[in-house]
Amino acid sequence: MSKILVTGANGFIGRALVSLLHDRGFSVVPVTSADGDIAEKETLKKFTTQDIGHVYHLAAKTFVPDSWLNPQPFYQTNVLGMVNVLEFCKAGNMPLTSLSTYVYGHPERLPISEESAIRPSNPYAMTKWLAEQACEFYANTYDFPVTTLRPFNVYGIGQAENFLIPFIISQALDSGNTIAVKDLMPKRDYIYLDDVLTALLATLNKRSGYSVFNIGSGVSLSVLEAINIIQEIAGTKKNIISDNVFRANELMDVVADISKAEKIIGWKPEYSFQQGIESILKSNVKK
């Protein structure tokens, strides 16, 4: 059986993917920050292309607020790192699956399909769009299969608390009496980690050309709606406080059109937001 190389193997999604691949009987070659900076071309030279049947590129800088404060590392990791991975895949003619993000900016209509206009609304999204363009160029120029997944708002077990959903859950479970957020109004399409993993696995059999797929739930929830669901499942009734902060370039509603992924790679989400939150809270109880 050929091996699967995974960059970003120690990240939020990477750890879960490596574990799932092992459970499915695959031999995994993990690439982590301990192996070097993915933006440096020497990092992947430590690994041979022999016997590798697929590459998952998950290594990236992802925290949007940091991309506004210090964008250069995002361009280095997310763009130069992507090019280094593409060069690695080209050398071994290996299929590649790369994770992108929401690159559409303010949508003209909902739900948002892969054909919608691209308008990156923050530096992080801009770097992922540039990385996507590199993927398309390499796939078409050097004739090896590349698939890009565009997950919408991913949440799940093991996500850092500087992201919204774990931040809310942490407050719901702590000893305090309130849940405080910056704004209750923005609506997002939240996709559970396990559904992202099954989408990644669904790209293993892709064998030609360049493809892009939205990965979302097809439903949007406001921050307030998310808090209410979390509190209902957690059995809490804490006061909700909002700073009513309106961020520049804020997207007020986002919903993914996921019909292409279902049609082409046979993927659709299995978890509702309620089921995802229940799974996370059960994992917290076991700790």
Dig out the tokens for 237 from the structure: 């009734």
Using an 8 Å Cβ cutoff, are 11 and 58 in contact?
A: yes
- Residue 133, C-beta contacts closer than 8 angstroms, at least 6 positions apart: none
- Which position has the token pair 């993917």? 17
**Domains of the chain, CATH where assigned:** 3-286 (3.40.50.720)
* Tens digits of pLDDT across the chain (287 residues): 589 999 999 999 999 999 999 999 999 999 999 999 999 999 999 999 989 999 999 999 999 999 999 999 999 999 999 999 999 999 999 999 999 999 999 999 999 999 999 999 999 999 999 999 999 999 999 999 999 999 999 999 999 999 999 999 999 999 999 999 999 999 999 999 999 999 999 999 777 899 999 999 999 999 999 999 999 999 999 999 999 887 767 899 999 999 999 999 999 999 999 999 999 999 987 65
Tell me the CA distances in angstroms from 51 to 5, 27, 28, 93, 192, one per residue in order: 10, 10, 11, 11, 32
Q: Which of 274, 121, 165, 152 is nearest to 218 (CA)?
A: 152
* Residue 239: partners with Cβ closer than 8 Å, 6 or more residues away: 177, 178, 179
**H or E element: which one contains 249?**
none
Q: Indicate the pTM of the whole model.
A: 0.96
Res 1: pLDDT: 59
